[in-house]
Amino acid sequence: MKTSYQEFKPSLALQPFVECYWLHHFETQGLAESPVQRCLPFGALELILHLDDNPAYALFDNCWQKLPQAFFVGLYRSTVHWKAVGTGRKFGIRLKPESLLQLFNVPVASLFNNFTDLESFFGRDMNRLMDNVHGLVDMQLVINEVEQFLFNRVQHLKAERNYLVAATQLIRQAKGNVSIEGLSAHLSISKRQLERSFKDTYGTSPKMYQRIIRFRNAYESFQQTSATPNWLDVSYNFGYSDQAHFIRDFKEFSNEVPTLVYQDAEQYFRLPNKGLFTRRA
């Protein structure tokens, strides 16, 4: 039984929209199940494609549900538990939230803390992409197909300023350590208007997105350390009022205290900025 995870950088032209591509590969004999894996909420959207026929299952309401062959995941505030059954590969396209507005002109409010199959959300245009990548062994060929699909969307992109796009980007740039009042003032819009636009488009508030991004950056900060971090220092570095506040937030998004997550890293395969592979030309 073997499990591996890799991340791949998108081409330069797609980096404003795509965080990375990733591959999760589970190899086993027969239909053995993988250990339960955990996906933490990191404030990104995901297009996930099964490259093989063996299924994967996610835990919802204490019941394991079979995942679609290809599905779209909205912004999450909860940890998702899942497992693979039999040898199989899942390929993910991790998108920045504003990319759905820019590339597809669709809001994702209905999918906050939820997912759906790709065809139901995007229509039949996605079927050709799924058919083109299914069964491919060479990851470069998979990435080429995906990038061509995304390039076709970029070509129709209109260059225009959008305060919601700007707000989303500024929260990430500040690593979540920004007040919503200050953000509204910077963008010359009311706090109420910003909150309404976030809710209508992403299904949540700018405050929740800010908290998720701050959690993500705190999590990333200790993924590179060899010794258990000083949680007081982490709390201070990422703008939490105190260590208790940091631990409460961390438990809300991960269902665990930071020390347990740090010690159990093998079950957490969404590791941003770790092990990125540069795509071949």
Q: What does the DSSP 8-state code read for residue 278?
A: P
Does residue 170 fall inside a structural domain?
no
- Res 3: pLDDT: 84
Does residue 182 fall inside a structural domain?
no
Q: Which residues of the chain have pLDDT under 70?
A: 158-161, 265-281
- Res 123: pLDDT: 77
Does residue 121 fall inside a structural domain?
yes
User: What 3-state DSSP class applies to 144?
Assistant: helix
Q: What does the DSSP 8-state code read for residue 112?
A: T
First to last CA, the chain: 32
| Number of structural domains the chain divides into | 1
Cβ atoms 195, 205 nearer than 8 A: yes
Token duo for residue 85: 């059954």
Identify any residues that bridge with 27 across adjacent strands, giving them in sequence order.
2
Does residue 96 fall inside a structural domain?
yes
Does residue 241 fall inside a structural domain?
no
Q: Which residues contact 160 (CB under 8 A, 6 or more apart)?
A: none
Does residue 266 fall inside a structural domain?
no
- Res 105: pLDDT: 81
CATH number at residue 64: 2.60.120.10
- Res 137: pLDDT: 93
- Res 259: pLDDT: 87
Token duo for residue 152: 């076709």
pTM of the predicted protein model: 0.90
Does residue 139 fall inside a structural domain?
yes
Does residue 211 fall inside a structural domain?
no
**What mean pLDDT is reported for the chain?**
88
Q: pLDDT digit string (tens) for 161-191? A: 689 999 999 999 999 999 999 999 999 999 9
Structural domain including 90 reads 2-157
